[in-house]
Structure 1
Amino acid sequence: MKRSRFSEEQIIGILKEHEAGVPVAELCRKHRVSDASVYKWKAKFGGMDVSEARRLRALGDENAKLKRMLADAMLDNVALKDLPGKEVVTPAARRSAVAHLMERHEMSERRACKTIGCCRMTVRYRSIRPQDEALRERMVALARERRRFGYRRLHVLLKREGHAVNHKKLFRLYREERLAVRRRGGRKRAIGTRAPIRLPLAPGERWSLDFVSDQFTDGRRFRILAVVDDCSRQNLALIADTSLSGTRVARELERLIARHGKPTMIVSDNGSEFTSNAILAWADKTHIEWHYIAPGKPTQNAFIESFNGRLRDELLNETLFSSLHHARAMLARWQADYNTTRPHSALGWSTPSAFAATFHPQRAPTLRLSNGSAPTPVAQPANELSKTAGSELTTG
């Protein structure tokens, strides 16, 4: 806008002369202006004094400033809506947002930082942190090999290989490589007060048994009998077959006892195989205490349930089995890896085999109390199955 060579005070003075009786033509000759300018001044400043004119000018300046602020705010709003992504929280995301505003909307660095509320020092900072390419490549390779391992178990495996890395730094690299394990949906579980399960004091004191089901690629189903030592968390057996009867279970237990020794107690659910006459006769013959959990209470057999979850998550859900021979080979390979390589969080990230090797056979404590009585079972047995094996054989 072209600035007038007359100030508001001078214009009001000229209009005062016109109000005093000086003709417009004489005012135009005297001040060297056109009559149109005089009439325009009269329409704008007629009847005003100097203070009112100054106030009008201040209002005009303030109005222009507000218009500029509104235009800037609208432009900033449009620019913010054009930002890629939803949240600008991390320093890297802030630097990317500032670069986008400067490139797409031709903003200055100062204005772009002000728009997103970012410090200019954050934008200008350049990281001197090493990239750790070798560590990243090895971590990605391990994560692809063991798809269901989180960063904690990967950290243990990397430490075994000689990589000296802090777990917090590894977690940062783990997130940057987008290696987070996808959570699988599970059923809702009731929340309440539960008594903690008693831990055995030495390997071989208590075994847990349970069945896991899966199917081949052609749709046929097969079952897996899993046996776990509750103290060392060792997986003693993974027997896969299309049918596993009580007689077969007793025969497999005989083989395990010949290899690992006889346990003091065996814990299982109330499945038909475990409550069959073959199992009752075998338990009575071998004098092994067989404990049945309460019906509908799998938490009373928590060790084998936890193992079944790891087995299904890391092997069964990740593998397509073409035949029974293929399933047995994969189960044997996974069992060896579970016992000798896979770190277990409940054992201080040691392996079950290494943890079992720390127990001396002669110094292993027994389960008998000072008065000679047996300790309380791991869980309250079912009312209808609380009898001993011998009494059940007697009643048929």
Structure 2
Amino acid sequence: MCGEGQVSIRRACPVLEFDTSSYHYKSCRPDQAPLAARIKAICETRVRYGYRRVDVLLRHEGWHVNQKRIRRIYNELGLQLRNKTPKRRVKAKLREDRAPAMRPNDVWAMDFVHDQLATGRKIRVLTVVDTFSRFSPAVDPRFSYRAADVVATLERVCAKLGYPKTTRVDQGSEFVSRDLELWAYAKGVTLDFSRPGKPTDNAFIEAFNGRFRSECLNTHWFLTLADAAEKMEAWLRYYNEDLLHGAIGNKPPILLQNPGGTPSPPP
């Protein structure tokens, strides 16, 4: 019974045109705290992951969650990436005389990335990526680079992976050199030079360098050259063995570069 001045729910709901079943409804939604905690943990270690890449990693770990829910939680946690709007909006036109890579070691791409130590001393990093498998054979930091150093790095990685058929490079002095030309001729490697002022001719290495800078260079302090080499090597192992790359079917690059390879378990 209702007390004096009180109205029962059964009588009040019709007056308010409100269904009693809605009043008594109890949400059956499962607790989302564990999912939110996992999404936050992923984004704390993988600072450049958008919600789509988080979704792929969660599915790989065994979470069966709708991508819309992941996006909603991702936004509620304030994890959205803030990317700069590109200034150029002209569609890039690729060179028409290039055939796409059909297997690992068909085409490699190389370039340099610049950074500095905590002391302010400049370093240069030679980056190499296989355009078919997206596997990166090397990210090699040094204080300075000559053509002979490029050849030495290539010889070191080619001893493990074999020699590429073609290597795409820009017009830098280390690449337009007699040392690299003689090495390429001796090993049967074709040097494919980008046109001056056309970074889209070497788009694969540009994309790799962007990820390398945002996920490694911008997230670490390097005290010494040895410290930089150690941290870059740790990131390279993650990139090659753990990263689920959307361009190759959400697989780690090592599985395409080396079909017999086994990636590390997700963090």
Return the TM-score normalized by structure 1. 0.57
- Total equivalences in the alignment: 239
Distance in 2 (alpha carbons) for counterparts of 1:242 and 1:226:
14
Which residue type is aligned with residue 105 of structure 2? G
Distance in 2 (alpha carbons) for counterparts of 1:315 and 1:327:
10
Distance in 2 (alpha carbons) for counterparts of 1:186 and 1:211:
24
2:48 matches 1:152: no
* Counterparts of residues 1-396 of structure 1 (less than 5 Å): 128-183=28-83, 185=84, 188-192=87-91, 194-195=93-94, 198-358=99-259
Render the CA deviation track for 1:217-272: whole Å, top value 9, x for unaligned: 11111000001011000011011000111001011111122110111111100000
Which residue type is aligned with residue 282 of structure 1? W
Distance in 1 (alpha carbons) for counterparts of 2:152 and 2:60:
39
Distance in 1 (alpha carbons) for counterparts of 2:89 and 2:61:
41
Give the % identical residues.
37
Q: Secondary structure at the match of 2:231?
A: helix
Residues 228, 247 of structure 1: alpha-carbon distance in 2 compared, 3 angstrom cutoff: same
Return the TM-score normalized by structure 2. 0.83
Residues 175, 146 of structure 1: alpha-carbon distance in 2 compared, 3 angstrom cutoff: same
Q: Secondary structure at the match of 1:320?
A: coil
Structure 1 residue 187 displacement after superposition: 5.3
Decide which structure has the larger Cα Rg and report it: 1
Unaligned runs of 5+ in 1: 1-118, 360-396
Structure 1 residue 130 displacement after superposition: 2.6
Distance in 1 (alpha carbons) for counterparts of 2:150 and 2:157:
11
Residues 269, 236 of structure 1: alpha-carbon distance in 2 compared, 3 angstrom cutoff: same
Residues 296, 351 of structure 1: alpha-carbon distance in 2 compared, 3 angstrom cutoff: same
Which residue type is aligned with residue 31 of structure 2? Q
Which residue type is aligned with residue 176 of structure 1? E
Which residue type is aligned with residue 39 of structure 2? M
Distance in 1 (alpha carbons) for counterparts of 2:118 and 2:221:
6
Which residue type is aligned with residue 189 of structure 1? R
Structure 1 residue 202 displacement after superposition: 0.2
Distance in 1 (alpha carbons) for counterparts of 2:211 and 2:26:
43
Render the CA deviation track for 1:126-148: whole Å, top value 9, x for unaligned: 75433322111111111112111
Distance in 2 (alpha carbons) for counterparts of 1:314 and 1:182:
14
Render the CA deviation track for 1:95-114: whole Å, top value 9, x for unaligned: xxxxxxxxxxxxxxxxxxxx
Contact 2:104–2:256 (8 Å) recurs in 1: no
Residues 120, 308 of structure 1: alpha-carbon distance in 2 compared, 3 angstrom cutoff: farther
Render the CA deviation track for 1:66-98: whole Å, top value 9, x for unaligned: xxxxxxxxxxxxxxxxxxxxxxxxxxxxxxxxx
Residues 222, 358 of structure 1: alpha-carbon distance in 2 compared, 3 angstrom cutoff: same
Q: Secondary structure at the match of 1:235?
A: coil
Q: Secondary structure at the match of 1:160?
A: helix
Which residue type is aligned with residue 113 of structure 2? V
Contact 2:128–2:136 (8 Å) recurs in 1: yes
Which residue type is aligned with residue 236 of structure 1? P
Higher relative contact order (CA 8 A, sep 6+): 2
Structure with a larger share of its residues in helix: 1
Q: Secondary structure at the match of 1:219?
A: coil
Unaligned runs of 5+ in 2: 1-16, 261-267
Structure 1 residue 290 displacement after superposition: 0.8
Residues 193, 176 of structure 1: alpha-carbon distance in 2 compared, 3 angstrom cutoff: closer
Residues 193, 285 of structure 1: alpha-carbon distance in 2 compared, 3 angstrom cutoff: closer
Q: Secondary structure at the match of 2:175?
A: coil
